[in-house]
Amino acid sequence: MLSTGFKLWFGLFVAAVMAAVLAGYTSGATETGPISVGWKGGVGNHVSYVIILSAAAGLALVGLVALAFRDADAEAQAEVLGLEEAPEAQAVVGNSLWPIFGALGIGALAVGLVVHPAIFVTGLCILVAVGVEWTMTNWSEKVSGDAEANAAARENLMRPIEIPVLGTIGIGVLVLAVSRVLLASSVNGAVVVATVAGLLVFGGAMAISKRPEMPRRAIRSILFVGCVAVLLAGILSAVNGEREFHQIGGGTSDDDAQVETDH
């Protein structure tokens, strides 16, 4: 029997596939190109088609994960674990920050459609990561009635994936956001921004290292606020656009010097 979570993600998957097909037909695709994923003809605009189809693949993956874990159904877990009684479900859970990240990803998608493809891809990466993380968090919170055991179950499953994959994506997104801020700043302003950002990161790391007793929740909150601030600054800077770069001399050689004008 199909679980409720699978039905939700599968419905979103179907909607994304239909959107990809529609995008293909409205951008010059052949008759069978979009429905055959390019095997029998052209798909129209390759960028939009591939991005939407990739989103559909991500939604399908999340749906399969929800189906495999049976939406954290207690009876299904008891059957798999060979228990006579279903484990106690946790009725009350803590607050989640994933909706905030999800809203940020949707906002980046909307801005990227108008401003720059890089922002659109950034928003898409954020939404995919939020979808996976939110689903696994929801699963782990209902594994049992013990909050510590639930947290351990989530870490055992997701840490080998989160650290390399999400770490790489997160670093790439933050670097892209910082680069937008520096390119939108003036010549001297970019130096000031880079210096202040470096001092804040270094000073914050030093302050946290001096207080090993600081709760993990407080450290996560500090990192969350910092990441959101950097992402918002990057999006706003991309909306304002880059500063102008002018070339010295009238030649077209690659060896010509470049100079930046302060605007």
Q: What is the pLDDT of residues 171-206, one digit of tens each?
A: 887 888 888 888 888 878 888 888 888 888 888 888
Q: Quick check: 247 pLDDT over 80?
A: no
Q: Quick check: 253 pLDDT over 70?
A: no
Q: What mean pLDDT comes out for the span 61-86?
A: 74
The answer to whether 142 and 94 have CB atoms below 8 angstroms apart is no
**CA distance linking residue 159 with residue 241, whole number of Å:** 37
**CA distance linking residue 142 with residue 123, whole number of Å:** 29
Q: Quick check: 256 pLDDT over 50?
A: no
The answer to whether 118 and 176 have CB atoms below 8 angstroms apart is yes
Q: Quick check: 248 pLDDT over 70?
A: no
**How far are the Cα atoms of 9, 172, 244, 256, 261 from residue 253, in angstroms, in the given order?**
53, 32, 20, 6, 20
Whole-model pTM above 0.85?
A: no
